[in-house]
Amino acid sequence: MVDVKVLKESAKKEVDSQRKRLVEIARWMYENPELGSEEYKAYALLTEELEKQGAKVERGLLGMPTAFSASFKGKSKGPRVAVLAEYDALPGVGHGCGHNLIAASAIGSGVAAARAAKDLPGEIVVVGTPAEEGRGPSAGSKVIMANKGFWDDVDAAIMLHPAMHYGVGGKALGIWQLKMEFKGQTSHAAASPEKGVNALNAATLAYMATHMLRQEARRDANLVIHGIITEGGLASNIIPDRAVCEFGVRSSDEKYLVTMVDKVEKCAEGAAIATGAQVTVKKAKLYSSMKPNIPLVKVLYQNYVDQGVKVDDWQETQAGIPMASTDFGDVSQRCPSTGSYIGIGPENTPGHSRQLADCSVTKEGLDAMIIGTKALAMTLVELLAKPELLKDAKEFFNTH
């Protein structure tokens, strides 16, 4: 009979034994930020650390130079549970999204859980997922992994993210990107305007028509449309023959999102017809919305509560309005998944800022990282020790 409490206590102690090294990793990454698809130093640091701890590391996962998979196998075949690492920084602000803490927590929890659960069947995998911020050829690497079937062989995936409070679960918006390129005809704006076709007028009309979609949007689908005109002419006395709009369309409802993307495309086509311009619309799906998994949420939530930290009620978190998008959403569409948040600084600290980056290496931020690492490690161990939890998570995944 497996004593899960003993195993989880062992996992916590293993995290404590790694604290110095995990802090070193987080600080080093803070001091050496690298942009997405270029995280070569962080990639080397993390993979070498995992290899030292006994993991079998696959480098250059799925053709992405800074992606990896590090496996710790138990005493026999069994479930495959994953913890995810992110390690790309932001231009100008370094680790203003706290990915240095995400990476350190993934390494620490994977190693700690593997040591505590060494006599259990199954496998713990630390997955290195570069370019979450969407830059370079590995942009949205979790989506690339999803499209190539990597997550289909994973029974559960978890991770954490820095924030200003502790929480588990929550939603994320799916997002598509549209680029509208309008083509018209130049002419003298005063002497012969009738000979021109104003591409900027077409772009402006499309911009306004897209804004008008908001009034009739489903409120429960959390629709967000944001856009800019990136090109609109070269001189005010020349009727512009080229104009470009770029839009992001987001929603928590995957099917409704496709419907709204099609409507935005029709706004461009209608504007072109109305002005006599031509238009080309390029559409690309970026990230999927987050598919919740309540059985996993409950397990991870309890492993934060058991450490005595104040955690937002998970039901309120699930009922909250999703504010952003992440490629972790694509993981959740392929296997049972959930994330969590750790409180690393003052409530009013803006995301994607130098202030948040600085919070990641304060005592408060590093202590929070250790708490989160323990919660992840405890959850990995619990999932392997109690097969019924993974069964419940899979059933929920298949029916929701």
pLDDT digits (tens, 9 = 90+) for 340-397: 999 999 999 999 999 999 999 999 999 999 999 999 999 999 999 999 999 999 999 9
With CA atoms as reference, report the closest residue to 134 among 381, 330, 335, 292.
Answer: 330
pTM over 0.85: yes
Where helices occur in the chain by DSSP H, the ranges are 4-31, 40-52, 99-116, 141-147, 199-212, 254-275, 294-305, 314-319, 328-332, 354-359, 363-385, 387-399
Note the pLDDT tens digit of each residue in 102-159.
Answer: 999 999 999 999 999 999 999 999 999 999 998 999 999 999 999 999 999 999 999 9
Q: Would the pLDDT of 230 be above 80?
A: yes
When pLDDT is averaged across residues 314-319 and rounded to a whole number, the result is: 94
When pLDDT is averaged across residues 42-59 and rounded to a whole number, the result is: 98
Q: Would the pLDDT of 1 be above 80?
A: no
Q: How confident is residue 2, by pLDDT bands cut at 50, 70 and 90?
A: confident
Better-predicted residue by pLDDT, 321 or 305: 305
Q: What are 387-395's contacts with CB under 8 Å, separation 24+? A: 387/79, 389/295, 389/299, 390/79, 390/81, 390/155, 390/156, 390/336, 392/295, 393/155, 393/156, 393/293, 393/295, 393/296, 393/336, 394/155, 394/336
Q: Would the pLDDT of 295 be above 90?
A: yes
Q: What local confidence, expressed as pLDDT, does residue 283 receive?
A: 96
Note the pLDDT tens digit of each residue in 156-211.
Answer: 999 999 999 999 998 899 999 999 999 999 999 999 999 999 999 999 999 999 99
Q: What local confidence, expressed as pLDDT, does residue 359 receive?
A: 98
Q: What local confidence, expressed as pLDDT, does residue 206 receive?
A: 98
**Residues 18/52, Cβ–Cβ less than 8 Å:** no
When pLDDT is averaged across residues 226-249 and rounded to a whole number, the result is: 97
Q: What is the CA radius of gyration of the chain?
A: 24
With CA atoms as reference, report the closest residue to 104 among 288, 376, 387.
Answer: 376
C-alpha angle with apex 133: 225 to 363, nearest 5 degrees? 115
Q: How confident is residue 26, by pLDDT bands cut at 50, 70 and 90?
A: very high
Q: What local confidence, expressed as pLDDT, does residue 194 receive?
A: 96
Q: How confident is residue 242, by pLDDT bands cut at 50, 70 and 90?
A: very high
CA distance 74 to 122: 5
Q: Would the pLDDT of 296 be above 90?
A: yes
Q: What local confidence, expressed as pLDDT, does residue 393 receive?
A: 98
Better-predicted residue by pLDDT, 62 or 319: 62
Q: What is the dihedral of CA 118, 393, 372, 95, to 10 degrees?
A: 110
Q: Would the pLDDT of 302 be above 90?
A: yes
How far the first Cα of the chain sits from its last, in Å, is 33
Structural domains of the chain in order of their starting residue, each with its CATH number: 4-172+290-399 (3.40.630.10), 174-287 (3.30.70.360)
How many C-alpha atoms does 108 have within 13 Å on its Cβ side?
A: 33
Q: What local confidence, expressed as pLDDT, does residue 180 receive?
A: 98
Q: How confident is residue 323, by pLDDT bands cut at 50, 70 and 90?
A: confident
Q: What local confidence, expressed as pLDDT, does residue 248 receive?
A: 96
Least confident span in 184-198, 228-242, 317-331:
317-331
Q: How confident is residue 231, by pLDDT bands cut at 50, 70 and 90?
A: very high
Burial class (CB in 10 A: 0-12, 13-18, 19+), 220: exposed
